[in-house]
Structure 1
Amino acid sequence: MRRSVVGRGAYALARVAVIVRAPAGWLWWPGVLAAGIGALVPGLTGRRIGTLAGAALFLIAAAVVFVVRRRRYLELARAASRAGKSVFLQDRAVTVRARRRALRWWLLVAFLAAVGSSFAVPAAGGMLMAGLGAGLWAKALWLGRWERTNDVLLWVRTDRVARGRPAGKVVNAYQTTGIVAGDAAPGGARRSRPLAAAAR
């Protein structure tokens, strides 16, 4: 977390795109692994039907995750206000770690369910899980394009997303900084080179 001397009422901000992107890898790679394990099991439907069903589920899940709540994201982004000088800008690694910790049990249950479902429909559960990860990754890239187009980065108060989503009901506002603030690039990926200063 970025540290500075702040007055009373200071709070921390986390990057919206980083929050969206954080679970993507933990859905994608375990999903691929679960699909690979499932492909070794004949299952009730057979491998061919299971793989075809899984491909359909992958596409549907990716599309749904990518599209859902996009209007809400845009509403919050367009109404965002400039972040004040006294806020903390949370490091990307801290945001990713916090988000994955909050979801870790759900992700474990999803992986086990994906593997277990292969005894009925081989590979389908894993491909569904991978599709969810792909959809989140695509949504983070979409947010990154918006950030580049508008030359700002989108942030949200960490206390608003501690137990929720970055566009959930408890989130009532985003804040913005300059495009070089923080240690994550537009879209939430790591910057290729750390920046010496963060412009607000």
Structure 2
Amino acid sequence: MGRGGQGLVRVPVVVRAGAAPLWWLGVVAAGVGALPGGLTGRRIGVLTGAALWILVAAATACSRRKRYTALAREATRAAKYDVLQDRAVTVRNWRRAHLWWLAAGFLAALGGAFVVPAAAGMAMAGAGVGLWIKAAWLGRRERDGDVLLWVRVDWLGRRAGSPAGKAVKGYRSTGLAAGDAAPGGARRRPQQRVAA
């Protein structure tokens, strides 16, 4: 990064990176977890899981919204020599940094099925849905403000922390055409790709 430029990653991409693994691991854990009767029985387990799915999805989607809003409002324009990280690299880095947490959560969800069948897996899937909702909310903010939101790589740390964590001192912004991810962090369709 020459001339003092910073490495930047898209905020919604970091938020969205955990959604798919949490969803799929949760679905598998809930499916396998429904097989044993558990201590409570399948019916109570599935009903408990459905309630947890809603609660966890809502809590995940709504957490730290004030912090995200404040950081987005005060975002400064990205500098000419800042380097924009590709979406695929951001997702890969996040998943590598959280691999053991995802594996531990999956195993805990499977173990919990012997007490309350399917419930922990459904809660895990709910966390994935909550992250998708949060990323979509950030995408609406980006479209409304006609900007894309970025955060410095070094502020996330080696463990790819939260883009609204204490270490994050501010966001950078670019026009909507920058980078290879659409507002909200999804992949751009080929016809959407425009040179920044």
Q: Give the TM-score, by structure 2 length.
A: 0.96
The code of the aligned residue for 2:169 comes to N
| 1:108 CA displacement | 0.3
Match of 2:11 in 1: 16
Match of 2:193 in 1: 195
Provide the identity percentage: 63
The code of the aligned residue for 1:117 comes to G
Within 2, Cα distance between the matches of 1:7 and 1:87?
A: 9
Q: Secondary structure at the match of 1:13?
A: strand
| 1:10 CA displacement | 1.9
Match of 1:179 in 2: 176
Per-residue deviation, residues 5-58 of structure 1 (Å, max 9, x unmatched): x53322200000000000000000010000000111110000000000000100
Within 1, Cα distance between the matches of 2:15 and 2:194?
A: 26
Whether 1:80 aligns to 2:75 is yes
Match of 1:3 in 2: none
Whether 1:97 aligns to 2:92 is yes
Q: How many residues align?
A: 193
Within 1, Cα distance between the matches of 2:147 and 2:110?
A: 41
Whether 1:55 aligns to 2:50 is yes
User: Which segments of 5 or more consecutive residues in structure 2 lack a partner in the other structure?
Assistant: none
Whether 1:169 aligns to 2:155 is no
| 1:196 CA displacement | 4.3
Q: Secondary structure at the match of 2:173?
A: strand
CA contact (8 A) 2:5 2:79 kept: no
CA RMSD of aligned residues (A): 0.9
CA contact (8 A) 2:56 2:126 kept: yes
The code of the aligned residue for 2:122 comes to M
Per-residue deviation, residues 47-91 of structure 1 (Å, max 9, x unmatched): 000000000100000000111100000000000000011010000
CA contact (8 A) 2:45 2:119 kept: yes
| 1:95 CA displacement | 0.3
User: Which segments of 5 or more consecutive residues in structure 1 lack a partner in the other structure?
Assistant: 1-5
Within 2, Cα distance between the matches of 1:79 and 1:10?
A: 20
